[in-house]
Structure 1
Amino acid sequence: MALLDETAGPAVLDRRGFLIMQAGLAAAIAERWLAVEPPKVNAALQGGRVDAVLLDCFEQRLPALRRMDASLGGGSVRSLVDAELRLVTDLLNQGSYSATAGNRLLSIAAELGRIAGWASFDAGFHAAAERYWFAALHAAHSASDRATGANILKCMSLQRVDTERPSEALRLADAARAGAKHAPPRVRAMLTTRLARTHAVLGESLACEKRLAEADAEMSHADEQPSPAWASYFDHAEYAAQVAACYLLLERHRASDHWLQQTLALQPAERSRDRATYLIWRAESVLNLGDVEHACALVSEAAPDVAATRSVRNHRRLLDIHGRLTAHRHPAALALDERVRSLLT
């Protein structure tokens, strides 16, 4: 409760674009989370009664927040999610509820903290993301919600990849997968592909391929069991994208291009930020295969969505591939240069 109270509100103001946890601490937390039995919510607090109708209301709002993040980018929604987390934290502190309702409220707080952390990460606020995820992990653990905790660790793992701490990323991804061994197949497939991706970052191709084979087997059963609402985004389009990410990291560009064609064909229109990401990834694969003109066309298609969303990660991806393409002095690259500059201006 203290962590949630210190995080909702103050974290959104933290504009440091770097990690604040010392090296190895996040992985140590992940491994402790894996080993310690969750406590139970006991006594009800003074204040208004938190009933099932109110809990349903909070849970029904979560998908809309996820959709807004996927469409608008983290910079546009992080304050909104923080306000929602602040309200839920106040109810946990001041409300009255049963142990069952308390667990549901803690799970809601955990998912809000995860979304707030992801939005902060996407917007380039790494310290804020760490604070949200650390508090969210504790909330999920207190609610005995292993699957949500594993999803939070999965997010933390990707942050470690982006901030060049691949060994720690691997430990986080491994703990996430181990902690969700009884989760539905869709969740296990999601966590296994993240583990495969960390192996790819480390250049461990055999370990990566082994995990991808496991993920493929898990994904083949994804529709056979109900999954948590937050896992619904991990459909076959997203699965294909994560497989492609592994092959892109391993510099197997034909395989990456094959999987990216699949994900772009299946990608829902409302996930404009992710679509832009995967267009840029495909442009990188195509460029490495020697087709500058096609790569320029893919980046040109991605550029409007990148410009329209507040996603620092996608802006950086666009600038990186744009710089690589313009170095070729190809007519298509020169035309792209004008387009990208006008959009970003």
Structure 2
Amino acid sequence: MFAVEDALRHALPDRRGFMRLTGCTLTGFAEVWMNVEPAEASATFYGGRIGDDFVDQMEAGLPRLRLLEAAYGGQRACRLLDAELGMVNEVLSKSSYTSGVARRLHALAAELGRVAGFACFDAGLHSAAQRYWVAAVHAAHAAGDRVQGANILKSMSLQCHDFGCFGEALRMAQCAREGVGQVTPRTAAMLALREARARAAMGEAGECERLIAAADKLIGLGFSEDDPAFIGYFDEAEFHAQAGSCYLDLGWGRHADDHLTSALERLPRTKVRDRATYLTRRADAQRGLGNVEEAAALLAGVVSLVQQAPSRRNVDRLLTVRNRLPASAARRELDEHLNSITSPTG
């Protein structure tokens, strides 16, 4: 559990807004995950005996933690997630347990590390996010859970995409898809769309469209009782949001707007942060179609959502689209709204 201990010690104090690992070092990490078989987890005997009942209680809290992070933003959730991960690491380090309980504890650490990493990613703490994710992949490997490992690599691919490291984003997404093994249709669709995003960013329109079509067919097969718990977020709204984001990267504004509109129509009102993200992307699509006033109005609607669910990523995206708008009365009106989230006291 050295990787988890390193993340707990260094992740949150590390305030750097950039990734520590890039290039071959980053993609090599993913390729090692893809090819190495997990070793048998062994128990340590420094503390009390831990059984399945304890792990049941810890796992029962995961839906609440995922909800808090998604609904209220990573900035508010990262400390809580770090504390939960610290508790699991303490148990792993100082307690005794069966090999079966060990696998469950490592899987729990992997999921907590994944969510903690995304919380930091959302808050703009990119080095911390990467530390959590690297630790989470190690924990997923110790648990023998390749689906969880693939899901974490998927998040790391998105971080690379945001940084413009499109080659690394593609390789991380490929390692996730190729190394995961047999999965449910919905899981396969999720992983296909992550690769599609990387393909779109690299301008590979044909391969991107092939992956979107494959994902559409897979998600049409519906939910499965074997779906992993973390995939509950991946519904039709998320499919359309990811497809729209691909088309936005390709510069196909009308396709992007159609999919993003469908995503927003299907998105539950409780997903405030996601609504802010997809409204911002739709505003960019409208801008590309020449509808400047509509784009500015959509961005103005994002401001109150960001106030409800603070997100450094959403603020940065909002400002990026705002800067693409031509000077106009609509942009000046938008700037008045933006003052509430960009001023020192906002």
Q: Same fold (TM over 0.5)?
A: yes
- Could you tell me how far 1:205 is from its partner in structure 2? 0.4
- Could you tell me how far 1:44 is from its partner in structure 2? 4.3
What residue in structure 2 maps to residue 19 of structure 1?
19
What residue in structure 2 maps to residue 314 of structure 1?
314
What residue in structure 2 maps to residue 29 of structure 1?
29
2:44–2:92: 8 Å Cα contact kept in structure 1?
A: no
Question: SS at the partner of 2:61?
Answer: helix
State the distance in 1 between where 2:245 and 2:3 align. 34
State the distance in 2 between where 1:178 and 1:100 align. 27
1:146–1:180: 8 Å Cα contact kept in structure 2?
A: yes
1:9–1:86: 8 Å Cα contact kept in structure 2?
A: no
The correspondence for 1:339, drawn from 316, 337, 340, is 337
Give per-residue Cα distances to partners, 1:223-261, cap 9 Å, x unaligned: 244311111101111111000010000011101111011
Give per-residue Cα distances to partners, 1:266-320, cap 9 Å, x unaligned: 1111210110010010011111111122112211211111133331110111112
Give per-residue Cα distances to partners, 1:26-75, cap 9 Å, x unaligned: 21111111111111113442312222221111111111111111111111
- Look up the equivalent residue of 1:338 and give its one-letter code: E
- Could you tell me how far 1:344 is from its partner in structure 2? 3.6
State the distance in 1 between where 2:341 and 2:316 align. 14
2:161–2:198: 8 Å Cα contact kept in structure 1?
A: yes
Question: SS at the partner of 2:316?
Answer: helix
Question: SS at the partner of 2:269?
Answer: coil
1:74–1:120: 8 Å Cα contact kept in structure 2?
A: yes
- Look up the equivalent residue of 1:288 and give its one-letter code: G
1:180–1:188: 8 Å Cα contact kept in structure 2?
A: no
What residue in structure 1 maps to residue 137 of structure 2?
137
State the distance in 1 between where 2:135 and 2:265 align. 37
Question: SS at the partner of 1:48?
Answer: coil
Provide the aligned C-alpha RMSD in A: 1.3
What residue in structure 2 maps to residue 213 of structure 1?
213
State the distance in 2 between where 1:286 and 1:21 align. 35
- Look up the equivalent residue of 1:334 and give its one-letter code: R
Counterpart check, 1:187 vs 2:200: no
1:296–1:332: 8 Å Cα contact kept in structure 2?
A: yes
What residue in structure 1 maps to residue 73 of structure 2?
73
State the distance in 1 between where 2:341 and 2:105 align. 42
State the distance in 2 between where 1:62 and 1:153 align. 20
- Could you tell me how far 1:155 is from its partner in structure 2? 0.5
Give per-residue Cα distances to partners, 1:137-185, cap 9 Å, x unaligned: 0110011000000000001111111112111111110010112231111
What residue in structure 2 maps to residue 170 of structure 1?
170
Give per-residue Cα distances to partners, 1:59-105, cap 9 Å, x unaligned: 11111111111111111111110111010000000111111111000
- Could you tell me how far 1:123 is from its partner in structure 2? 1.0
17-26 or 145-154: bigger deviation: 17-26
50-59 or 103-112: bigger deviation: 50-59
1:44–1:98: 8 Å Cα contact kept in structure 2?
A: no
State the distance in 2 between where 1:140 and 1:224 align. 22
- Could you tell me how far 1:328 is from its partner in structure 2? 3.0
- Could you tell me how far 1:9 is from its partner in structure 2? 3.8
What residue in structure 2 maps to residue 115 of structure 1?
115
State the distance in 2 between where 1:310 and 1:211 align. 32
State the distance in 2 between where 1:316 and 1:295 align. 16
Give per-residue Cα distances to partners, 1:182-236, cap 9 Å, x unaligned: 1111111100000011000000001111111111121111324431111110111
Equivalenced residue count is 343
- Look up the equivalent residue of 2:180 and give its one-letter code: A
1:184–1:222: 8 Å Cα contact kept in structure 2?
A: no
What residue in structure 1 maps to residue 55 of structure 2?
55
- Look up the equivalent residue of 1:155 and give its one-letter code: S
What residue in structure 2 maps to residue 203 of structure 1?
203
2:122–2:311: 8 Å Cα contact kept in structure 1?
A: yes
What residue in structure 1 maps to residue 296 of structure 2?
296
61-70 or 223-232: bigger deviation: 223-232
1:237–1:264: 8 Å Cα contact kept in structure 2?
A: yes
State the distance in 1 between where 2:171 and 2:295 align. 35
- Could you tell me how far 1:322 is from its partner in structure 2? 2.3
1:7–1:131: 8 Å Cα contact kept in structure 2?
A: yes
State the distance in 2 between where 1:137 and 1:42 align. 18
What residue in structure 1 maps to residue 261 of structure 2?
261
Question: SS at the partner of 1:13?
Answer: coil
Residues 274-293 of structure 1: matches in 2 within 5 Å?
274-293=274-293
Question: SS at the partner of 1:12?
Answer: coil
Mark the runs of 5 or more structure 2 residues left unpaired by the alignment. none
With normalisation by structure 2, the TM-score equals 0.96
1:16–1:125: 8 Å Cα contact kept in structure 2?
A: yes
2:19–2:130: 8 Å Cα contact kept in structure 1?
A: yes
State the distance in 2 between where 1:43 and 1:300 align. 54
1:9–1:82: 8 Å Cα contact kept in structure 2?
A: no
- Look up the equivalent residue of 2:122 and give its one-letter code: D
